Amino acid sequence: MLSNVHKKEVEELYATPILQQTAFWSAVKKRLGTNSIAINFNSRKSALYGVSDDRSSLYSDVLIVLQQINRYYSVAYVPYGPELEPSDEFQGMFLEELSESLRSFLPKNCILIRYDLCWESWWAKDKDYFDEQGIWKGEPDTPTQEFRFNFSTHNWNLKKAHSNILPANTIYLNLTTGTDTLLKRMKPKTRYNIGLAHRKGVTVKSMGLDGIHIWYEIYKETAARNHILLNDLKYFQAVLSARADDTHSPADVNLLVAEKDGKPLAAMFLVITQNRGSYLYGASSSTERNLMATYALQWEAICRSKEAGCTEYDMFGISPSPDPQHPLYGLYKFKSGFGGDIYHSLGCWDYPLDKDLYTLFRASELNSQGYHIS
């Protein structure tokens, strides 16, 4: 299934709309003290898609982030990769072969490879997993998921991780239509709130590192309000200052700030990679929320993405369904108002390289003593 598997320079990673599989993302991780490697491989189309009369090959690659979890051991994390997505029935076999091919390129003390798959969930393609209102009911239990993924493999070694690191559910907007059509596809309340923000005098401007402290103050306020983990300032500085302009897979990063009369009300990171604009991080002030600054901000990001030639916009992270008990339900309500199509991915899957140590690693994660490896 795979051939010509070899290491290459990170700068040579192929262009991709997936931000976390770019040379730019490797540059961000490097600024934060984390190393990464790039692996190139060829795949036969017939083995990926079951087309027996097609002998051609596909050239692909994968970015692997190497995370040291203590003095002795590490894990290999593949954020939203590999990009190459075989047909459903060949996915387990492909990932097994890829994992075994990667062994020799990883540190000898590497416990596992964790794939944060952006491949569409099999159960999101099955009408039996949707209710009468068209709401997705979610995936089956873990044993059922693992049985299906491992069915065509030799070693039955793929394990569903306890939780996902990157969002497994998102909304994609099709930007190939006109702005009038984009507005018509929105929910009436969302469309109204965009207009309201403009009528109230909310404006949006783009900032660089000079705006990092404005961002961080609003972000700290949001984190406290929503009881979420606070990332260090240096993390966002790395995203804004990393450069990969001389590579095959750069990214354009914009810090957008919505304000009224010079007072910052909301901010977000817009990242453009190839044909995709992504809403990466967002924050809003607890004051003057009646001005609907977040709606003006999001609309500006969508318009900027379209002007940059993007054909799609990634809302990046919602709850899997409109469940008020889910911690991301508020994001579901807000983001779904802009229209677009909900997308459910397979999320995090592990390929243990040392089964005994992997068992200990899973136990530590389950006891909330695990290691953050994003």
Contact 91, 149 (CB under 8 A): yes
63 and 208 both lie in a single domain: no
209 and 162 both lie in a single domain: no
Whether the full predicted model's pTM is greater than 0.85, yes or no, is yes
- Domain boundary residue, one of 284, 310, 336: 310
66 and 136 both lie in a single domain: yes
Residue 262 lies in a domain: yes
Residue 234 lies in a domain: yes
12 and 155 both lie in a single domain: yes
- Domain boundary residue, one of 310, 330, 355: 310
- Domain boundary residue, one of 291, 310, 329: 310
Show the domain range for 283.
176-310
Residue 337 lies in a domain: no
pLDDT attached to residue 372: 41
Report residue 63: phi and psi, to 5°. Answer: -95, 130
106 and 232 both lie in a single domain: no
194 and 223 both lie in a single domain: yes
pLDDT attached to residue 52: 74
What total of structural domains would you count in the chain?
2
Residue 358 lies in a domain: yes
Residue 326 lies in a domain: no
98 and 152 both lie in a single domain: yes
Residue 340 lies in a domain: no
| pLDDT < 50: residue spans in the chain | 369-374
306 and 359 both lie in a single domain: no
- Distance, in Å, from the CA atom of 266 to the CA atom of 295, rounded to the nearest integer, reads 10
- Distance, in Å, from the CA atom of 61 to the CA atom of 64, rounded to the nearest integer, reads 10
138 and 187 both lie in a single domain: no
- The domain that contains 182 carries what CATH number? 3.40.630.30
Q: What is the pLDDT of residues 50-59, one digit of tens each?
A: 887 778 899 9
74 and 132 both lie in a single domain: yes
**276-284 and 312-314 beta bridge pairing:** parallel
143 and 185 both lie in a single domain: no
What DSSP string describes 65-120?
Answer: EEEE-SSS-EEEEEET-------GGGHHHHHHHHHHHHGGGS-TTEEEEEEEEEEE
Residue 79 lies in a domain: yes
226 and 261 both lie in a single domain: yes
